[in-house]
Each structure stands twice: as structure tokens, then as C-alpha cells.
């Protein structure tokens, strides 16, 4: 849920997430849809629909990470991710734990199952949700 002040009245938006944490639908506090987005496995935007004419565009994109408007990269906290690559833009801080993997490989090359909440280490999306 995000609160945005455009005027003196408060507006609330609800983010409806998929299993990876990406906001598939965003609805207004009154229940009507504001935005619908779907992503390809590595985070490229596949579908983007805005409803009504409010010009609403969430800055939270793939796996609910903030997308930098200038570069188009997603910020995960420890490093940036290029969803068109699809690669990390800096070396994995936990690369020593996985010597057989490229330190730039994203989500253990399995973005359907693995997530990386902070850009440091991939974990199973299902395992993460059950904790």
C-alpha cells in the first residue's frame, strides 16, 4: 500500500503482488484499477495498462524493486540489475559461496523460482514466502 498526496486529500493505492513480489495490479483505495503490469521471466515489461486518465505509473516494478528512470535499471539494494541483459551490473557480494556460477548471473538462471530480495543472494521464492 502506498500513500500519495496530490492535493490535501490522501490517496491510497494497493499493490497486488505475484509470487515473485512484482505488482501485477495496482488499485485505488476506492477499488478501481489504476495499473496492470506483467513481466517476462527476467523482468522485461510484457504488458502495461493504465486505467482511467490519471497518468499513474508506479516506480516499483519487477519483484517490487524501484526502477531508475534514467537508466532503466532495477535497484535491489546491494547492486543494480539490467533486465534486458539479464545480468547484475556488479559482482555478487556472495560470489565466494558459488564458485561455479558467474558472479553476474541473475537468479541462478532460473527467474521463475528464485528471487534476490536485496541483490546479495538468490533464494527460492516459494521457500521465502513460507517463512
Residue numbers of the domain that contains 22: 2-129
Alpha carbon 79 to its chain centroid, in Å, reads 14
With bands split at pLDDT 50, 70 and 90, how would you rate the model's confidence at 127? low
CA angle 83, 84, 90 (to 5 degrees): 60
With bands split at pLDDT 50, 70 and 90, how would you rate the model's confidence at 125? confident
The pLDDT tens digits of the residues spanning 82-114 come to 999 899 999 999 999 999 999 999 999 999 899
Q: CA-CA distance, 121 to 91, in Å (whole number)? A: 11
Total structural domains in the chain?
1
With bands split at pLDDT 50, 70 and 90, how would you rate the model's confidence at 46? very high
Q: Taking residues 8-27, what's their average pLDDT?
A: 87
- Give which of 118, 126, 37 is closest to 81, Cα–Cα: 118
How many Cα neighbours within 13 Å face the side chain of 23?
23
The pLDDT tens digits of the residues spanning 68-90 come to 999 999 999 999 999 998 999 99
Q: Is 129 helix (H, G, I), strand (E, B) or coil?
A: helix
- C-alpha grid cell for residue 127? 521457500
- pLDDT value at residue 3: 54
Q: Taking residues 122-126, what's their average pLDDT?
A: 85
Amino acid at each position: 500500500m502506498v500513500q500519495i498526496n496530490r492535493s490535501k486529500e490522501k490517496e491510497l493505492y494497493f499493490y497486488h503482488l505475484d509470487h515473485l513480489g512484482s505488482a501485477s495490479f495496482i488499485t485505488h483505495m476506492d477499488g478501481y484499477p489504476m495499473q496492470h503490469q506483467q513481466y517476462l521471466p527476467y523482468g522485461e515489461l510484457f504488458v502495461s495498462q493504465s486505467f482511467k486518465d490519471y497518468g499513474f505509473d508506479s516506480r516499483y516494478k519487477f519483484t517490487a524493486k524501484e526502477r531508475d528512470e534514467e537508466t532503466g535499471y532495477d535497484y535491489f539494494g546491494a547492486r543494480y540489475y539490467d533486465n534486458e541483459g539479464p545480468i547484475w551490473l556488479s559482482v555478487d557480494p556472495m560470489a565466494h559461496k558459488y564458485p561455479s556460477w558467474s558472479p553476474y548471473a541473475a537468479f541462478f538462471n532460473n527467474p521463475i523460482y528464485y528471487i534476490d530480495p536485496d541483490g546479495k543472494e538468490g533464494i527460492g521464492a516459494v521457500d521465502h514466502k513460507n517463512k
